[in-house]
Structure 1
Amino acid sequence: MATIDGWKEKNVLLDEAAMRRALTRIAHEIIERNKGIKDCVLIGIRTRGIYIAQRLAERILQIEGEQIAIGELDITLYRDDLTHKDNQPIINGSHISEDVNNKKVILVDDVLYTGRTVRAALDALMDIGRPELIQLAVLIDRGHRELPIRPDYVGKNVPTSKEEIITVQLQEVDGRECVSILVKNEEIQ
């Protein structure tokens, strides 16, 4: 069981194999809905969304035999809670080599919660170009939306309470592969 800053793992929702299956299903859905990958671009939202987008690109390559364009989006300066965060935000910059104008952009993130991260990503993306359409792929949708945002592709819907945290751990960042629910340490008996 993992602990993170006063939070303790309640249970694991997805292990490595389940994550792999969810991403494979999302890759198939992206291909099906877009009738292939022509003019499609995967854009991962920093940090874990980038790695999930890379994994989706690998699966799409395996399925279609074609490489899909991929990019990274840094939304730091677009967040509406910037004043509540550190005084000096770390800005890594966006890296999108593909022109997004008139393309089908699939934004990719790890967890969809209030919708504020996606709203910031939409603002950042629109400053870069004007896509034909924008779709949203998330590994986990935990509900509790504060904005009218809905994902097009979901790995797993997980009803949660606001007192819980969903954490996605990826080998590239965390050295572990799983999706877990965390609760305050005192809540677990």
Structure 2
Amino acid sequence: MQEQKTILSEKDMARTLDRLASEITERRGDDEKLAIIGIQRRGADLAERLKDLLDSRLGRKIPLGKLDINLYRDDWTNLSRQPSINCTEIPFDIESASIVLVDDVLFSGRTVRAALEAVLDFGRPKRVELLVLVDRGHRELPIRADYVGKEVRTYEEQHVNVLVSERDEEDKVVLIKS
């Protein structure tokens, strides 16, 4: 039996994304080479929302990309099912850009490692910062987020699921215990 607890409601998610956009604006608002790349799938959805918030705050269009990291994963040959391949779209020059890499949940750090490798295949950015909606701990690699929506202490057997209206018809973050 699964036990489920909501840790961010729709209103909480909107407020959290607004705060994260403010943090980016404070740190990087003057950077003309600021760009956002969302990790497919839900990280890309969150990145689109952040882009809209930043466009409004900064009065300019922030470049947005979407990154599929499945072929860069170090565990894809061990997965019980084949990975679902999504598209990568980076319609701007990464060279010397200040990239904010967006993902929904930070756990082991392996997704971020794969994303960094994928980004570097497109060029050498000036910097890459990581933004996550939820940091649930249990790192296997020395990776940390620069922008964190919510830190949640979890047990390894728990899962954090981010639901977004673009895919799931509702916005919320739930903690699931098997």
- TM bracket, shorter-chain basis: over 0.9
CA–CA distance in 2 between the matches of 1:179 and 1:37? 31
C-alpha change, 1:165 and 1:92, in structure 2 (3 Å) is same
Match for 2:30 among 36, 39, 43?
A: 36
Q: Which residue of 2 aligns with 1:178?
A: 172
Aligned length: 178
CA–CA distance in 2 between the matches of 1:88 and 1:13? 30
Q: CA RMSD in A?
A: 1.3
CA–CA distance in 2 between the matches of 1:22 and 1:38? 24
Deviations 1:14-44 (A, max 9, x none): 0011101110111111111114341011000
Match for 2:151 among 144, 149, 157?
A: 157
Q: Which runs of 5+ in 1 are unaligned?
A: 1-5, 185-189
Q: Which residue of 1 aligns with 2:87?
A: 93
Question: Which residue identity is paired with 1:140?
Answer: V
TM-score by length of 1: 0.90
Match for 1:111 among 105, 109, 116?
A: 105
The 5-angstrom pairing of residues 118-157 of structure 1 reads 118-157=112-151
Deviation at 1:86, TM superposition (A): 4.9
SS at match of 1:130: coil
Match for 1:27 among 12, 21, 24?
A: 21
Q: Which residue of 1 aligns with 2:64?
A: 70
Q: Which runs of 5+ in 2 are unaligned?
A: none
Instruction: Indicate conservation of the 8 Å contact 1:31/1:37, yes or no.
Output: no
Question: Which residue identity is paired with 2:53?
Answer: R
